[in-house]
Amino acid sequence: MSLITDSPVHSSSSDDFAAFLDTELGSPSDMSPEEEEEDDVNDYDSDLERIKRHKVEVLESVPDSDGSTSHVEPTQILEMSVKKDVCMHPGDIRGMCIRCGQKINDESGVAFGYIHKDLRLANDEVARLRDKDLKHLLSHKKLYLVLDLDHTLLNSARLLDITPDVSKGSLFKLEYMRMLTKLRPFVRTFLKEASNLFEMYIYTHGERAYALEMAKLLDPGNVYFNSRVISQSDSTQRHQKRLDVVLGQESAVLILDDTEQVRKLVCSLSI
């Protein structure tokens, strides 16, 4: 598979990418070990035949300066074939390249665990995807909107801290988390209208389980956010909401957050 040429991550949907990876990498094989071994042999034979054909084509088509055909050594043919098929390793999952399947030890790049568990993308691939995604969004006259949760879209408190007079509003009691959450007035109306202008992310310093539960309350139909829920464990720097984990060009990102520290970090992009 080729993430570079056939990448499904064309932003408007990091979710398509997650589904793609699940299909390509996560599905078990239906073949028996004998069938898989036979399939590997067939693949090897096909590759060998392709290299042989390539060798013949080169031998027949490489001219000398005087117009005659010169002989090319087999080692040169092999080197040309290897260079042609080299993989740039656009990303990996648990050390395995998502394109060629080769084991790689390079830990550079950015982790995107909220898109697919253990997914890490190379910096060049992230830049490519952002450029492609920006063109896609602009063609739909949209930008990116990164939303905070607590004190922005909703408020949560532990049950033991709730006073008896709290009775009005959009309240949700989460027994297993021992919390009570109140949505801000008209927050769902806001999300519905904003979805026409933005591709939206949730970005919170809360834990992932909490972030996902709040996303369900805000977006019960899973229409606005899908997999674009970034939590504390996804951030690349402690106590800071850096945009390197957002698959969008920073110049096209708006941020809605109540935290002054976040506004200082990207003050030119915040509201």
Q: How does residue 86 score in pLDDT terms, banded at 50, 70 and 90? A: confident
Q: How does residue 225 score in pLDDT terms, banded at 50, 70 and 90? A: very high
Lowest mean pLDDT among 5-9, 40-44, 144-148, 161-165: 5-9
- Average pLDDT value for residue range 97-118: 92
Of the candidates 133, 142, 221, 218, the one whose C-alpha atom is nearest the C-alpha of residue 183 is 218
User: pLDDT tens digit string along 159-181?
Assistant: 666 655 454 557 888 888 888 89
Q: How does residue 270 score in pLDDT terms, banded at 50, 70 and 90? A: very low
Domains and CATH numbers, the chain: 3-123 (no CATH), 142-265 (3.40.50.1000)
Q: Is 43 exposed, middle or buried (0-12, 13-18, 19+ CB in 10 A)?
A: exposed
SS (H, E, C) the chain: CCHHHHCCCCCCCHHHHHHHHHHHHHCCCCCCHHHHHHHHHHHHHHHHHHHHHHHHHHHHHCECCCCCECCCCHHHHHHHHHHHCCCCCCEEECCEECCCCCECCCCCCEECCCCCCCEEECHHHHHHHHHHHHHHHHHCCCEEEEECCECCCEEEEEHHHCCCCCCCCEEEEEHHHCEEEEECCCHHHHHHHHCCCEEEEEECCCCHHHHHHHHHHHCCCCCCCCCCEECHHHCCCCCCCCHHHCCCCHHHEEEECCCHHHHHHCCCCEC
Query: Is residue 29's pLDDT more than 50?
Result: no
Q: What is the pTM of this model?
A: 0.65
pLDDT value at residue 51:
44
Question: Could you give the CA distance from residue 242 to residue 257 in angstroms, rounded to a whole number?
Answer: 13
pLDDT value at residue 177:
83
Q: Is 53 exposed, middle or buried (0-12, 13-18, 19+ CB in 10 A)?
A: exposed
Mean pLDDT rounded to a whole number for the chain: 76
Query: Is residue 81's pLDDT more than 50?
Result: yes
Q: How does residue 5 score in pLDDT terms, banded at 50, 70 and 90? A: very low
Query: Is residue 199's pLDDT more than 90?
Result: yes
